[in-house]
Amino acid sequence: METLSYVLQQLINGLQLGAVYALIALGYTMVYGVLRLINFAHGDIFMFGAFTAYYLIAKWDVPIYLVFPITMAVTGTLGFLIEKIAYKPLRSAPKIALLITAVGVSLFLEYFLSLNSLFTPNYIGFPRPFEVTGYELPLFTVTNVQIIIFAVTALSLVLLYLLIYHTKHGRAMRALSHDQEVASLMGIPVDGIISFTFIVGAALAGLGGILYGFAYPQINVFMGIMPGIKSFIAAVLGGIGIIHGAVLGGLIIGVSEVFVSAFLSSTMRDGVIFFILFLVLLLKPSGIFGKWIDKV
């Protein structure tokens, strides 16, 4: 009984982390779908979301129900600008040049924002706008932070699902991920849809940043690197380009990370995640729900 409740408790903690990873992984998977690019800067957009929320809450006392839309708008704009300034001029360049540019954008954001006159490279405490309270259930405890995270993630997933499968923009995005050239022949504004995809992905990453701040209230300009890479792994695990794959992958990665920390050793955590990546790439590179077997 003791063990069972401990395992369940860790499962809840893992799902909490996994939900944040899922939000970031969605952006990766959508961008990869339309542009075939690993947007390395996505983790930094997530970081920027956390910092925006920090400034809104701690410095300017913005009410909590406004923090979410403002942060998402700010990170969405950032995603839009990154695509327009850095990636668009390279649309016809070799694929690796685009990837290196993405790494460059990521490093630029990290080091530019870590200047002492901006965010500074130090850890900053993230102010929660509410007290953390736990609700005792028969086998485990759920905190209000966890409930918020699960609720917000679930809600945004439903909205995203409706957007992709039930709107014109969503249909255009899906068409682009099948074949960009043919899509443009069918009258789909390719550049506009790519920008739109970046905005949606970046807004979700910003949302992830706020939730991450609530759950782990310490933020830093370099905080986006590891969650970014792990979320990409989550997207690969679920099958890159597939929305529900990214969510499942995120949850699996989050739970395994917490389980490894709880039952093995917290220093081995990252190693195990990358071992999972290795196994996926070798055994089924197209991921759990994958369909593009020959693309890898």
Contact footprint for other proteins (CB under 8 A)? 36-38, 86, 89-90, 93-101, 103-108, 111-112, 114-116, 225, 229, 232-233, 236, 265, 267-268, 270-271, 274-275, 277-278, 281-282, 285, 296
Shortest spacing between CB 163 and other proteins, in angstroms = 26
Shortest spacing between CB 32 and other proteins, in angstroms = 8
Phi and psi of 141, rounded to 5°? Answer: -110, 140
Shortest spacing between CB 251 and other proteins, in angstroms = 20
> 99-135 b/e with 16+ CB inside 10 Å = b?
bebbeebbeebbeebeeeeebeeeebebeeeeeeeee
Of 209 and 290, the one with the shorter C-beta distance to other proteins is 290
Of 11 and 107, the one with the shorter C-beta distance to other proteins is 107
Structural contact between residues 45 and 206, judged by C-beta atoms closer than 8 angstroms: yes
Shortest spacing between CB 270 and other proteins, in angstroms = 5
Shortest spacing between CB 33 and other proteins, in angstroms = 13
Residue positions counted in the chain = 296
Of 160 and 176, the one with the shorter C-beta distance to other proteins is 176
Cα angle 37, 91, 104 (rounded to 5 degrees) comes to: 60
Of 1 and 96, the one with the shorter C-beta distance to other proteins is 96
What are the residues whose beta carbons fall under 8 Å from the beta carbon of 102, sequence distance 6 or more?
A: 37, 38, 39, 40, 41, 86, 87
What is the rounded end-to-end Cα distance, in angstroms, of the chain? 45
- Three-state SS at 40: coil
Of 62 and 86, the one with the shorter C-beta distance to other proteins is 86
Shortest spacing between CB 129 and other proteins, in angstroms = 32
Of 44 and 243, the one with the shorter C-beta distance to other proteins is 44
